[in-house]
Amino acid sequence: MSAPDPRHPLEHFPPERFPLGPMPTSLALSPDERAAALNALRALPAELRAAVAGLDDAGLDTPYREGGWTVRQVVHHVADSHMNAHIRLKLALTEDDPVIKPYEESLWAELPDSALAPAVSLDLLDALHTRLVPVFAGVTDWARPWTHPASGRWTLDTLLAMYAWHGCHHTAQITGLRERLGS
């Protein structure tokens, strides 16, 4: 995922691509919403692993929607994205309103590591979320700002909500495909 782009038409969210609807962009969350988002991040590595369990190479190399990434690319993309989340969170906690670095996610998904076995990124996500979740859980000032060069200034609440949604969003793309295919 990238931070929200206000130029993107919000009314266009085809359900196969956006099974959970658009990414949330709240600037402030309630304590219950934060707890739910943290639980989603805690659960994500196991849920993504379960979503791809039992797929052979043909299943892993099936696009989750016409013209979309393969299941394998989706798994590696979640690792790409959440590595950036960890860096963005730590920058926001240690610098004054840092400008984060966007990246070309569709080009990253074409690099050779996105052809590896999904287990590589599933193991990476296990370790990464073991580090990411306690950093989020230790936040005391959820209004701390960070800035995306295209979409502007956001808060740590936004960052938490975005990535909690992001993991569930891609997991649901895979489970939705498997439901449609009966695989």
For Ni ion, the binding residues (CB under 5 A) are: 1
Going 21 to 124 to 99 to 104, the CA torsion angle's sign is: negative
**With respect to Ni ion, which residue has the nearer C-beta, 29 or 172?**
172
Q: How far is the CB of 124 from Ni ion (least distance, A)?
A: 16
For the bound state, the minimum distance from the C-beta of residue 169 to Ni ion, rounded and expressed in Å, comes to 7
Which of residues 144 and 170 has its CB atom nearest to Ni ion in the complex? 170
Contacts of 42 (CB under 8 A, 6+ apart): 129, 133
- C-beta nearest to Ni ion: residue: 1
Between 4 and 178, CB nearer to Ni ion: 4
Cβ closest to Ni ion, residue 17 vs residue 90: 17
Measured from the CB of residue 1, what is the shortest distance to Ni ion in angstroms? 4
- Cα separation, 110 vs 117, whole angstroms: 14
CA 109/CA 28 separation, integer angstroms? 31
- CB of residue 23 to Ni ion, shortest distance in Å: 9
Residue 142 contacts residue 156 (beta carbons within 8 Å)? yes
Residue 23 or 92: which CB sits closer to Ni ion? 23
In the complex, the smallest distance separating the C-beta of residue 76 from Ni ion, rounded to whole angstroms, is 11
- Cα gap 183→87, rounded to integer Å: 36
Render the burial of 75-109: b for 16+ CB within 10 Å, e for the rest.
bbbbbbbbebbbebbeebbeeeebebeeeeeeebb
Whole-number Å distance between alpha carbons of 93 and 96: 8
